[in-house]
Amino acid sequence: MTGQADGSDLDPQAETYAGLGDWTPEALGDGRVLPVVSAPNPVLSRAGTEVDPTARETVQLAADLIATMRVSPGCVGLAAPQVGVGAQVFAVNITGHPKAVTVHGTFVLCNARVVEATRWKAGREGCMSVPDLTGDVKRASRLVVEGVLPGSGKSVRLVTDGFEARALQHEIDHCGGLLFLDRVAGAHAIYQRKVYL
């Protein structure tokens, strides 16, 4: 599934693209692998600030998030607060994940927000910043998100579902200073991550 054109109100002056258009992560340039911070680091509990998606430091941050995500086994998304930066920027790539339905590949969004969320389903989540625990969290399985691409500064509207929808909500939560721990379903919805020998 790809996105659908619409009249986004993110930036009335900007053309809104359905899906990612011709944006590719390669255009960001080389990224650096950054250390990932863990809870209870306070940066994870503060709402990130909005960024200028065309600013050089935002483009560098976007490239760094992708580079860090790529070297982290099993990582399907990484938000700026997780590398110690309180900003509304995150990277996602669920390509090849067994639970993937709609897949937009590797992308980064700035200043993203959820505009439609339906078909709520419970599912188990983990997080690189909470390495020892997982939890059951209810998330929308049909999602519309609006945000801005780093570099080009183009506003986009992504329509997605399933696991990519879950990943997007998890990362947008990070940008708002929330962890999956803040949304667990109940007292017995947190689990010690299993260590397999």
Partner 1 sequence: MNELAITVIGRDRPGIVADVAEVLARLGANLTDSTMTRLRGHFAMTLICVGPAAPEVEAALAPLAADGQLLATVRAVTPDGETAPAGEPYVMAVHGADRMGIVAAMTRVLAAAGGNVTDLSTRLAGSLYVVVAEVDLPPGAAEGLAGRLADAAAGLGVEVTLRPAEPDLL
Q: Tell the smallest beta-carbon distance from residue 99 to partner 1 (Å).
A: 20
- Nearest CA to 127 out of 164, 95, 79 is that of 79
DSSP three-state, residue 27: helix
- Length of the chain in terms of residues written: 197
Name the DSSP class of 9.
S
The residues in 113-132 that bind partner 1, with binding defined as CB under 8 A, are 122, 130-132
Contact code string over 7-46 relative to partner 1, x by CB under 8 A: -------------------------------xxx----x-
Rounded Cα gap, residues 137 and 180, in angstroms: 7
Residue 174 phi/psi, 5° resolution?
-55, -45
Residue 15: active-site member: no
> Is position 194 an interface residue for partner 1 (rule: CB under 8 A)?
no
Q: Choose which of 188, 194, 195, 196 interacts with partner 1 (CB under 8 A).
A: 188
**Would the annotation count 104 as a binding residue?**
no
- Nearest CA to 162 out of 80, 69, 94, 70 is that of 94
Q: Choose which of 22, 96, 98, 187 interacts with partner 1 (CB under 8 A).
A: 187
- Nearest CA to 136 out of 186, 192, 81 is that of 186
- Nearest CA to 70 out of 34, 22, 118, 46 is that of 34
Say how far residue 4 (Cα) sits from the centre of its chain. 20
**Would the annotation count 174 as a binding residue?**
yes
The residues in 68-107 that bind partner 1, with binding defined as CB under 8 A, are none
Q: Tell the smallest beta-carbon distance from residue 174 to partner 1 (Å).
A: 13
Cβ-based nearer residue to partner 1, 6 or 132: 132
Q: Tell the smallest beta-carbon distance from residue 169 to partner 1 (Å).
A: 15
The H helix count followed by the E strand count for the chain is 2, 7
Cβ-based nearer residue to partner 1, 44 or 159: 44
Rounded Cα gap, residues 63 and 40, in angstroms: 25
Part of the chain binding partner 1 (CB under 8 A), chosen from 20-28, 100-108, 164-172, 188-196: 188-196
The footprint of partner 1 (CB under 8 A) covers 38-40, 45, 122, 130-133, 138, 178-179, 181-190, 192
- Provide the annotated binding site for Fe cation: 127, 170, 174
Q: Which residues are catalytic?
A: 171
